[in-house]
Amino acid sequence: MSEVVTAKVPRELKERARRHGINISGLVRSALEAEVERVEESELRRGMDEISASLRKKLSEKDVVTAVRETREER
């Protein structure tokens, strides 16, 4: 289901966009989608950084190497 989103822009800008054949709705939709994806990716990266930092405190490099070697040997 779609929602209507409105934005005020100067009349001159809207007219110039129309003159150049710019699909305003499509442009706003794609720009909004790109921005949401960027923000979500940034949030995921922050979360991964926090988890990584937490794991570094709990696991030593030796523990990780041992776990990787054990996993390889199981295959």
pLDDT in tens, 18-68: 999 999 999 999 999 999 999 999 999 999 999 988 888 888 888 888 888
* 46 in a structural domain: yes
Q: What's 6-73 look like in SS3? A: CCCCCHHHHHHHHHCCCCHHHHHHHHHHHHHHHHHHHHHHHHHHHHHHHHHHHCCHHHHHHHHHHHHH
Domain annotation covers residue 58: yes
Q: Residue 42 sits in which domain range?
A: 27-74
State the greatest distance between any 2 C-alpha atoms of the chain, in Å, as a whole number.
68
Query: Which pair of structure tokens corresponds to residue 53?
Result: 């930092």
Identify whether 7 is part of a domain: no
| 20 in any annotated domain | no
Whether pTM exceeds 0.85 = no
Question: Would you say residue 21 lies in a domain?
Answer: no
**Within a domain: residue 4?**
no
**Considering the domain boundaries, does residue 38 fall inside one?**
yes
Domain count for the chain = 1
